[in-house]
Chains A and B, each alone.
Chain A
């Protein structure tokens, strides 16, 4: 039995029909068609599916879609500012912080949540912010460096 659900996705109003009890990951990928959100474990333990709900990182695979009705959701597909990359995206590229790329969308969202509330993070802050996102390829160091770079770049732009 499908019920309607409405929310804001990357700044746009979106409406979809979802099975009662559907998780946000499935609604975003299947019903809305945002394929930038990836599924890694469907158990809530790997962080691959991380999206921001009202600015807070959530593992969408164990988030009930119904609880997000009316809320603002951000995914990696919404990071770009027009043709320009978000500073995090540019920094990940510079630092070669992705290999297979599968954890990258979720990792970017976890990092964005950090920088949105703390524009001047320490290395410990970054580690804390991404410790719920598993990466099997990079060994994390380039990701940490990329997030710190992005914070500095944003800083310089604002200054």
Chain B
């Protein structure tokens, strides 16, 4: 089923390694097959309490009143946790790296903005007691108009979803409601193109659906600290978020995890730890907050849906001369990580192809649905779907084989990318050639001889003229000639590359400043002005 093509790029590798490349048995495999691998919930406590969350049934509403008196008196209930109990009840995940404004409460107090938003916590001696008490809580709501479509949400007059971002978009650099990419002049290129095509793509939200749901157990420790057993994918990320929300010093929390029953991006949002810790602090007992599967499916954050418009211009001999992308990330009611994904999406435009004119505008949009988060391929999966379907359509339009069309446009070492960085260490062409050979997908000779390396093989000689990217730099520095770079892994420390001792080696550093395209502001605010000061 799996074989290696060690012959390809062999001159760039030192394969004289002992442990690397070995099919060594996993360190955790014995634990998995004996059922002894310790997931967060595999810890038992005699007086464990259970936290259950009352959630909004409405997509958008004002909370008029909450009557939890009967619930507080219900059998087995130890504590009701209300919004006012949360020390810092407004947060955004990326505040840890100073990106974005706090916009999401742990428990809603005045408005609810998605169906499933947490309103109240009930801590009881059993899950059943907590759920029965929850049924006694009376909440009255004034329902409000809701918006569920990303483009509708951006129209004037659309219901405002998020109080921190009232126009339903994240703010970039304090002035834009989207992230831009501008390289060359797409409009001019479209005029010159033989084929112009604009298409719309829509990817659905996706459930991570790990077999283990999100959860944590917070346990008061002997010394006033709290041990937290957690399913998180990012230990300190969750620890620091929990410390902020609970307003405790970070060293008061002792997080233990590392063995997780599937994540795929759905266990980064720190959904359960802040409140399980708060519950443990308020009751003095160990508390488990475990998502039911229903909660995981309905209210655990999904991969956000994305709507993508791609407009391409191509010449009749098969070269893509312009690509323009407009995309909308459906972030749901709060930011979480979608703001970051937008930038990653823009970073991925136009795909692994060398296109001289590229433009993108990508938005992070708020709607009244469950807040979205990262999932396997974050910022890239939907764009790849759109780009690769588009490539197929273009190939048909210009009458080329779909794979040969991709090879023709594939990026190679030394090409200038739309982000004004030189492509290097490319291998798209070789992957296509190898897969085609294995699958008996015929490729013409010149395509079988192409190469990712500088020089590029047939199809590239003399191509620099028609690949001119005004006003992108023509004299961009090239990676050291056609000689492949061979890295050796001599065990003597002196010879090996040392990413620790110094900043990344010169090859990966940004190239010298390029002449800026007309119309851009050089010396524009650093992205880290959005980040603010670096985390200490």
Contact = CB atoms under 8 A, between A and B. Distances in A.
Would A and B touch once assembled, by the CB under 8 A criterion? yes
Contacts of A141: 1
Contacts of A59: none
Contacts of A48: 211
A134 interface: yes
A38 B261 contact: yes
Contacts of B25: 93
A127 B44 CA distance: 35
A89 B209 CA distance: 25
B33 A100 contact: no
Interface in B16-50: 25-26, 28-37, 39, 41-42, 44
B212 interface: yes
Contacts of A105: 35
Interface in A87-108: 89, 92-93, 96, 98, 100-105, 108
A98 B211 contact: no
Interface in B303-317: none
Interface in A68-114: 75-77, 79-80, 85, 89, 92-93, 96, 98, 100-105, 108
B35 to A, nearest CB: 3
Nearest to A33: B44
B209 A37 contact: no
Contact of B34 (A43, A77, A135): A77
Interface residues of A, number: 38
Given A38-B212, A48-B211, A102-B262, A43 B293 contact: yes
B27 to A, nearest CB: 12
Contact of B32 (A46, A104, A136): A104
A77 B35 contact: yes
Interface of A: 19, 30, 33, 35-43, 45-46, 48, 75-77, 79-80, 85, 89, 92-93, 96, 98, 100-105, 108, 134-137, 141
A79 B36 CA distance: 12
A136 B262 contact: yes
Contact of A136 (B33, B209, B294): B209
Interface residues of B, number: 33
Given A36-B35, A77-B34, A134 B211 contact: yes
A92 B31 CA distance: 12
A134 B210 CA distance: 10
B147 interface: no
Contacts of A42: 292-293
B34 A89 contact: yes
Contact of B36 (A33, A36, A100): A36
Contacts, number: 92
Nearest to B31: A101
Contact of A35 (B28, B33, B42): B42
B37 A101 contact: yes
Contacts of B39: 38, 102
26 contacts: A35-B44, A40-B212, A40-B213, A41-B293, A42-B293, A75-B35, A89-B33, A93-B29, A93-B33, A100-B210, A100-B212, A100-B260, A100-B263, A101-B29, A101-B33, A101-B37, A101-B259, A102-B39, A102-B261, A102-B262, A104-B33, A134-B211, A136-B209, A136-B210, A136-B211, A137-B262
Given A96-B26, A100-B260, A76 B211 contact: no
Contact of B211 (A19, A40, A80, A92): A40
A35 B37 CA distance: 10
Given A43-B293, A96-B26, A104-B33, 10 more contacts: A36-B34, A76-B34, A76-B35, A85-B34, A92-B33, A96-B29, A98-B29, A100-B211, A101-B32, A104-B32
Nearest to A146: B33
List 4 A-B pairs, minimum CB-CB distance, nearest first.
A36-B35, A101-B32, A102-B261, A41-B293
B34 A80 contact: yes
Given A41-B293, A135-B211, A136-B264, A98 B35 contact: no
B42 A98 contact: no
A102 B34 contact: no
